[in-house]
Structure 1
Amino acid sequence: MDTVTPDPSETPSPEAAAAPRVTVAPVVATADSAHGHVDVIDDRDGYLAAVEAIAAGTGPISIDAERASGYRYSQRAYLIQVFRRGSGVFLFDPPAIGRFDELQAVISHEEWVLHAASQDLACLREVGLDPDLVFDTELGARLAGLPKVGLGAVVEQLLGVHLAKEHSAADWSTRPLPQSWLVYAALDVELLVDLRDAMAELLERDGKLDIARQEFAATVAREVKPAKAEPWRRLTGLHTVRGSRGLAVARELWTARDDYARQVDTAAGRLVPDSSLVAAAKALPADKRALAGLREFVGRASRSELDRWWAAVERGQATADLPSHRGPAGDTLPPPRSWADKSPMADARYRHARPVVAAIAERLDLPVENLLTPELLRRVCWEPPIPFEPEALAAALTELGARAWQVEAVAGPLADAFVDAHQEPETQPAEPS
């Protein structure tokens, strides 16, 4: 079986050279490492035995999930990997096992270590796995100011280990899963606990551990955003469609494709790509033969489901419910480039606030988007509390979802920036956004 060792062909950075180095033994999907072969647990008896072994381990639980994004419509987990010191690595087949309530009961109150937790929490929760406390090594890497935050890069920098990532975009719904994929998946999760310890030391050294804990807690608490009112408007290239009738055809084609993609559990773009739907909406074919003859209308289901697509075109051409060129207003702000015309004072506040926030982020050695998201900054600039006092700005930022450490860092400087903006002569030209 393959093992993970440092790549001798690459010269490690000073940070990597100083970091503790890890020798990773062959890993298997059960607590027994004698066979040197990775197995997937796909039955209830094996799953319950694994839960018992995990309960006997110690320390944090590292967990990862593999989906089939780009291949399947659903975002379900097709493989879940779990590691705990004293227990080993376990690879589970979620479609075969179903619910993971017994594992949840054992590990729910322990710290879970994930890399980019926000990407995996939804599919883990779908099978009953929901953490109280997480340590997100990807988010930790951002807060630590590391130049690269992908798992392979962070493992190499902090642990001095070269981790191959050749199967990250694989179709994990494949059955049986190739042995090389399973080795990859097992090694991924086994290194996370060591990475967590090294990351925690780095964050504590830089005085950022409390910041990280607040961000990790926010990740767990973050609610799923509601679906957009008109998701069909996400079609790539939709802006090239002219006329409400063309938009109606695009809407009906998108809806028909989405329904069929859900039915066959296949990524929608693999059936008929966005470019094909947009081409049909622009062409407005007169009959089914014209649609079939459209050179740009391609994709694996473009001809086998031609009746489906033509019915959608007919609905779009006949409907009286014509969409507008603008999407639903909702609470979407206008783009900042239009603020100088729509709200000159908001534009002035935004121009003064952006460099202030950037300077604070640089001083704290943080990505500016982790100090304050662009959306949050735009909202507080567009409609700030008046008068511009730190306490009022702090309350507004908190209501918008900023964490305590973010509020403490930016509320006062933002209040000063807003005061400066309102003292600016109105004739001063706006800087480009």
Structure 2
Amino acid sequence: MTDAEDTAADIPLRTASDPEKEPSASGVPDEGVAAEDPVPLLEPRDGIPPVIADADALSEVVAAFAAGTGPVAVDAERASGYRYGQRAYLVQLRRAGAGSALIDPVACADLTALGEAIGDTEWVLHAASQDLPCLREIGMVPERIFDTELAGRLAGYPRVGLGAMVENVLGYVLEKGHSAVDWSTRPLPEPWLRYAALDVELLVDLRDSLEKELDRQGKLDWARQEFAAIAAAPPAPPRKDPWRRTSGMHKVRRRRQMAVVRELWQTRDRIAQRRDISPGKVLGDAAIIEAALALPADATALGQLPGFGRVGRRQLENWQGAVDRARALSDSALPGPGQQVAGPPPPRAWADKDPAAAARLSAARAGVSALAERLGMPQENLITPDTVRRVCWEPPAAVTAETVAAALAGHGARQWQIDQVTPLLVSALVA
């Protein structure tokens, strides 16, 4: 055992229910009030586990985790900003009786057996909605989860990143310097593996402390409803016209310019997918917008625009080909303004379009803000702003607690949210 492991083993975990971590008078947990300085957590208690990269080793992990007890801490590392897509390049797990495991999902592409072995137990994740899509791709789909980030939001912690939560709830400092590295690198350096193992080292301890705090605040059932909704949510459908989300798109006004954005975006996406690199490393959004605004006549003119100055001649001609295709389109083939999203217009237009609706929204927002402050949680976790807008724009024909509750349910609100928000929305809608 190293000195760091020995030190960590001798120091008890501080929890949200310890005297020095009691919530403030407002009911929201305070930060930075621990009786002693946080302890750096430098090494996993069992050392850095070997990376599982073959079928035999994976079978042993599956058996060990199936035989373990209690919740399973789960995390995944992606290579955002380096590779195309959001696939997982490392999966970390920890469970009592099984220890920690680091799995290479490139070498072991199908983790269905592991997912099934732990599928009926609770998975503890931090910011679950970020990791569940890439875990689903490799066969890991939980039935029940506990999201420590969301739990922290509901409990009222001001900072809910994993490092902040571990420090303020448990009293340990996690080293977070490798969060944005290229996890597709092989072999993975030992410092990165140490960081990855530490990410699941205390997740279950954090879960247990947050559960106690949520229970103390009377919010545990609320959290369970939120967790169930996340676990049951279907995969997100592909975005319609994803090129419209190009950064700086608000500068593009003319349809011909929009066509240039579309052609360059689609060309870039094909190249990025073929080369398996992040689209931003192929061509930046800013360069796409510059080309769309300038509508260059040839590759020489294109090369003088910001973002294209260091591009080779062959690449310039490729990008100019996309611009030329957009320039050659008939007017009928040009993209129009963005599709009108179903639902209410932007709130800034409400005063002109429907002053009564604007008044309803103002009253509802004030009520939600006040209630969220009393409950000690962000407004968006109490009820989504989009839901409030939709109910205020098109309220039920007869405004009653029952009809407003039904409207909220129709927009996906959970029962605890309906119970909390319905009275204030009824007041706002009939004012």
1:309 aligns with one of 300, 313, 319 = 319
Q: How far is 1:293 from its partner?
A: 3.1
Q: Could you say if the C-alpha distance between residues 85 and 303 of structure 1 is closer, same or farther in structure 2, counting changes exceeding 3 Å?
A: farther
- Residue 71 of structure 1, aligned match among 64, 82, 99: 82
Contact 1:279 1:297 in 2 (8 A): no
Deviates more, 1:183-192 or 1:331-340: 331-340
Residue 234 of structure 1 corresponds to 245
Query: Residue 273 of structure 1 contacts residue 298 of structure 1 at CA under 8 Å; is this kept in 2?
Result: no
Q: What amino acid is aligned across from residue 131 of structure 1 in structure 2? A: P
The CA distance in 1 between the partners of 2:388 and 2:288, in whole Å, is: 36
From 368, 378, 384, the counterpart of 1:367:
378
1:206 equivalent in structure 2: 217
* Local SS of the residue matching 2:83: coil
Q: Which range moved further: 138-147 or 302-311? A: 302-311
| Alignment CA distance shift 1:110-1:25 (3 Å) | farther
Structure 2 residue matching 1:79: 3-state secondary structure = strand
2:328 corresponds to = 318
2:353 aligned partner: 342
Deviation of residue 363 (structure 1)?
1.6
8 Å CA contact 1:361, 1:367 repeated in 2? yes
Preserved contact between residue 360 and residue 392 of structure 2 (Cα < 8 Å):
yes
Superposed CA offset, 1:183-241 (max 9, x none): 00001111101111111111111111100000111111223333332211111112223
1:309-352: CA deviation from partner (whole Å, max 9, x where unpaired): 1211111000111122x201131531101001112221111011
Shift of 1:283: 1.3
Matched-pair contact (CA < 8 Å) for 2:48–2:197 = no
Partner residue, 2:25: none
* Cα distance in 1 between the residues matched to 2:412 and 2:362: 22
In the alignment, the residues of structure 1 paired with residue 49 and residue 215 of structure 2 have an alpha-carbon distance, to the nearest angstrom, of 36
Distance in 1, matches of 2:81 and 2:19, equals 35
Q: What is the CA–CA distance in structure 1 between the aligned matches of 2:139 and 2:39, rounded to whole Å? A: 33
Aligned-partner SS, 2:173:
coil
Q: Is residue 81–residue 89 contact of structure 1 (8 Å, CA) maintained in 2?
A: yes
Gaps of 5+ in 1: 7-11, 421-433
Q: What amino acid is aligned across from residue 335 of structure 2 in structure 1?
A: P
Any conservation in 1 of the 2:78–2:87 contact (CA below 8 Å)?
Answer: yes
Deviation of the 1:302 alpha carbon: 6.4
Residue 389 of structure 1 and its aligned partner are, at CA, apart by: 0.7
Residue 388 of structure 1 corresponds to 399
Amino acid of the structure 1 residue aligned with 2:321: A
- 2:419 corresponds in structure 1 to 408
Give the gaps of 5 or more residues in structure 2.
Answer: 12-17, 22-32
* Superposition CA RMSD, Å: 2.2
Query: TM-score w.r.t. structure 2 length?
Result: 0.89
> 1:415, 1:401 → 2: CA distance?
18
Equivalent residue, structure 2, for 1:17: 34
2:231 matched to which residue of 1?
A: 220
After TM superposition, list the pairs within 5 Å mapping 1:12-91 onto structure 2.
14-15=20-21, 17=34, 26-27=43-44, 33=46, 36-91=47-102
In structure 2, do the counterparts of structure 1 residues 372 and 274 end up closer, same or farther at CA, with 3 Å as the change threshold?
Answer: same
Q: Cα deviation per residue 1:39-71 (whole Å; 9 max; x = unaligned)?
A: 211111111111111122111000000000111
Match of residue 428 from structure 1: none
Counterpart amino acid of residue 416 in structure 2: W
1:267-322 Cα shifts (integer Å, max 9, x gaps): 111111011011111111111222223344257x6655323212111110001111
Q: Structure 2 matches for 1:283-294, cutoff 5 A? A: 283-294=294-305
Residue type at the aligned position of 2:254 = G
1:92 to 99, 103, 128: 103
Of 164, 167, 172, the match for 1:161: 172
| Corresponding residue pairs, total | 406
Contact persistence 1:60–1:193 (CA under 8 A): yes
Alpha-carbon distance in 2 for matches of 1:161, 1:304: 53
Whole-angstrom distance in 2 between the partners of 1:225 and 1:127: 16
Q: State the match for 1:123 in structure 2.
A: 134
Task: Determine if contact 2:267/2:322 at 8 Å carries over to the other structure.
Answer: yes
C-alpha deviation, 1:387, in angstroms: 1.2
Q: What pairs up with 1:179-190 in 2 under 5 angstroms?
A: 179-190=190-201
Q: Secondary structure at the match of 1:305?
A: helix
Residues 241-250 or 114-123, more deviating:
241-250
CA contact (8 A) 1:41 1:91 kept: yes
| Secondary structure of 2:76 counterpart | strand
Deviations 1:70-112 (Å, cap 9, x if unpaired)?
1111100000001001111000000100111211121000000
Cα distance change of structure 1 residues 298 and 239 upon mapping to structure 2, 3 Å threshold: farther
Query: More deviation in 328-337 or 393-402?
Result: 328-337
3-state DSSP of counterpart to 1:60 = strand
Q: Decide whether the 8 Å contact of 1:22 with 1:159 is kept in 2.
A: no
Q: Distance in 1 between matches of 2:40 and 2:164?
A: 17
1:113 matched to 2:124: yes
The answer as to whether partners of 1:280 and 1:297 remain within 8 angstroms in 2 is no
* Percent of matched pairs sharing the same residue: 52
Displacement, 1:259?
A: 1.4
C-alpha distance in 1, partners of 2:314/2:104?
A: 32
| Secondary structure, aligned partner of 2:214 | helix
* Contact 2:154 2:223 survives alignment (8 Å): yes
Task: Evaluate the alpha carbon distance shift between residue 303 and residue 222 of structure 1 in structure 2; reply closer, same or farther with a 3 A threshold.
Answer: farther
The alpha carbon displacement at 1:242 in A equals 4.0
* Structure 1: distance between partners of 2:98 and 2:41: 15
Q: Deviations over 1:117-142 (max 9, x none)?
A: 00000000000000000000000000
Tell me the TM-score normalized by structure 1.
0.89
**Deviation of residue 26 (structure 1)?**
4.5
Cα distance in structure 1, aligned partners of 2:342 and 2:189: 47
